[in-house]
Amino acid sequence: MNGRDYLDRKTLILGDVNSGKTTLCREILEDFCRRGLAGRIVVIDLAPQIPEESLRDRGLRGVGGRLAPPEGAGVVYLHAPVVAPRLTSTTEAEALDKARRNRDAVEGLLRQAETSGRDILFINDVSLYLQAGDPGRLAAILEKTDTVVVNGYFGETFGSGELSRRERDAMERLAGWFASRGAVLTMPRAPAASGKILVAMSGGVDSSVAALILAERGVDIAGLTLFRTGGGGAGYGPGDAEDAARVCRLLGIPHHTADFTADLDRLVIEPFLAEYRQGRTPNPCVLCNRDIKFGMVLEKARELGFEGLATGHYARIVDRGGKPALAVPRDRRKDQTYFLWRVRRESLGRIRFPLAEHTKQEVRELAARAGLPVSQREDSQDVCFIPRGGIGPFLEARLPHPAPGRIVDCRGHTVGTHRGIVHYTIGQRARLSAGRGELLYVVSIDPAENLVVVGPKEALRSGGLEAGDVNLLVDGLPDAAHAKIRYAHRPAACRVTAGPGFLRVVFDEPQEAVTPGQSVALYGDGVLLGGGTIRRALEGIESKD
C-alpha cells in the first residue's frame, strides 16, 4: 500500500458486498497515519448497525465493516447510529423511511466535517447517504477538501426495488463527478476461499520467500503486514511495511496492513511486564505467536476470505494419525518450533510453512535469484517491541523505580545489593561490587523478600521442573520425551507426568538454568508434543526408578 497514490486526489471505491472496498479504504487510512498525516484527517464512518440474524437469514457476512482509525492517532472520527434499511425492513416504504432518517443523521456529520478545518476526508459506506440524499450536495462538500477517499456499495447482492434504484442512480452521478476529478476504483467481489492463502509478511527475507514459493506454485495469495505506531522497536515499523509492499508489488499480489499496537500491548507486553514484576523471565514471542500471528492474523485471514495463513517460520506441518501436527523443519539450526508450542491445536490445519524444506542459505539464494529487494536484509534478532538500546531501558521506562534489595548466597548471607529484581534472570553472571574470588551466578529470585540469590555454577543444575499454562498439540503425552528449556538449548531426554493444567518434567541428566517464566517445549520423534510455562525448578536429582 502506497498512500502517496491517493494524496491530493479524490478517489471513489465501489464494490459489491464482501468485495474488500472497506479494507482498501482502511489500508489507505492506516498508511496516511503512518506518514504522520493523522492531524489532517477526518473520518465519517457510516457502517450501519445490522442484527446478526439479518445477516444469517440472507447468507451474508462482513457487511458494515468499521473504518476506525488507529487508536490514539489523532484522527477526527465521526459516527452516527445509522441502520441498514434493506436488511432491517419488511416493506419498501419502511426501508425508504429509514433511509431518510439516515440521510438527516449523515448530513449532521457532513456539517461537522466541513467545520473541522481538516483537508483529508474519508467516508465509509457513502451509499447509506445516497439512498435518500442528494449527490450534488455531497459533491459540493467534497469539492472543498484536497484529499477525499470514499467507498460505497455498487453491486447486485440486494437486487431491485425503489431504494436500490435511487441508490444506484445517485451513485452513478457521484461516480461521474469523481471520474472528472480523480479516480473511480471498482473492486471485484471476492470469490470463495478455494485454497486462497494469506501470507504474514514482516518485510524480512523469510516471509518474503514464503510468499515467493507460494506464488511460484500458482497459489492464490495476498500479503498482510502488521505495523506498530510509535518507534524505537526492532520491527513492524513503517519501513518494514513498505519493504513488504515492495515485495508484493514485484510478485503481483495484493498487500494488506493492520495496526496491532493495541493488541500487542494488551496481549503481549502487559503479561510480559507482569511476569517481570514477579521475578520471572518471560518469553513474549510465545504469546505473540498464539494470540497475534496465529490468533488475530489467522482470524483476519478468515475474514478476508482466505482458507489459511502462511508465515516465514522454519517449521513443518505433518500428518500424524490423520491429524495435522507441528514438527521440526529440515534446517534444524533455524528450527523455530520452540516458540510455537502455545499455538492452538485446532489452528494447525489452516497454517502453512513454505520454508519447511529449505535451509536459510537456500532461502537467501531464492530471494536473490528472484530479485527480491529484501534479499540481503539482516535477520531480526530482537523482540519487536524492545528498543534497540536493549531490554534494560525498556523495563526502566515501563517499570519505573524498582526497589533495590539484597543479594544473598545460597546460605542466606548478604553478599551485595541489587537495583531491582527486574534486572536479573536465572543463569546470569552476578557482578558484585565487593568482588569475590569465585564466579557466582543468579540461581533464584525471591520477589516476596526482594532477594536475588547467587551461587556457584553447579548450583544452577536442576533435576527437573514443574510447568503450568499447558498446551498439548497431540492426543496424549508419552512417558518419555525430549525437553527444550530455552531456544538454543539442546533437547534433553526426560520423563513426563501430566495433570490438569500442569507438567512435571524429570531430566535423565541435570540441566542448567531452569528459569521460571520461560517455556519448556516437549518433543517426540521430531514432533512438537506441546509445552508449558516453567513455574519452578526441582531441586536435586530424582531417581529414575
Percent of the chain clearing pLDDT 90 (strictly above)? 40
Which of 25, 33, 285, 384 is catalytic? The answer is 384
CATH 2.40.30.10 location in the chain: 462-538
Q: Report the topology of domain 401-455.
A: SH3 type barrels. (2.30.30)
Other CB atoms within a 10 A radius of the CB of residue 316 amount to 20
Which of 248, 288, 410, 494 is catalytic? The answer is 288
Q: How confident is the model at residue 310 (pLDDT cuts 50, 70, 90)?
A: very high
420-460 pLDDT tens trace: 888 888 988 887 755 556 788 999 899 889 999 999 988 98
Residue, of 323 and 491, whose pLDDT is higher: 491
* CATH of region 3-187, choose from 3.40.50.300, 3.40.140.10, 3.40.50.2300, 3.40.50.150: 3.40.50.300
350-392 pLDDT tens trace: 999 999 999 999 999 989 988 888 877 777 666 777 777 677 7
Contacts 24+ apart (CB under 8 A), 238-244: 238/34, 238/35, 239/203, 240/202, 240/203, 240/204, 241/1, 241/34, 241/203, 242/2, 242/203, 243/203, 243/204, 243/208, 243/373, 243/374, 243/377, 244/201, 244/202, 244/203, 244/207, 244/208
What number is the average pLDDT over the span 133-149?
A: 92
Q: How confident is the model at residue 231 (pLDDT cuts 50, 70, 90)?
A: low
CATH superfamily of domain region 197-370: HUPs (3.40.50.620)
Residue 220 has pLDDT above 70, yes or no: yes
What is the pLDDT, as a whole number, of residue 23?
A: 78
Residue 285 catalytic?
Answer: no
What is the pLDDT, as a whole number, of residue 438?
A: 73
101-116 pLDDT tens trace: 999 999 999 999 999 9
Residue 384 catalytic?
Answer: yes
Contacts of 231 by beta carbon, 8 Å cutoff, 6+ apart: 237
Measured distance CA(534)–CA(464) in Å, rounded: 10
CATH 3.40.50.300 location in the chain: 3-187
Q: Report the topology of domain 462-538.
A: Elongation Factor Tu (Ef-tu); domain 3 (2.40.30)
CATH 2.30.30.280 location in the chain: 401-455
Q: How confident is the model at residue 543 (pLDDT cuts 50, 70, 90)?
A: very low
Query: What share of residues in the chain are helix, strand, coil (percent, to 5)?
Result: 35, 25, 40
What number is the average pLDDT over the span 59-80?
A: 76
Residue 176 has pLDDT above 70, yes or no: yes
What number is the average pLDDT over the span 308-314?
A: 95
- Burial string for 13-48 (b: 16+ CB within 10 Å, else e) reads bbbbbbbbbbbbbbbbbbbbbbeebbebbbbbbbbb
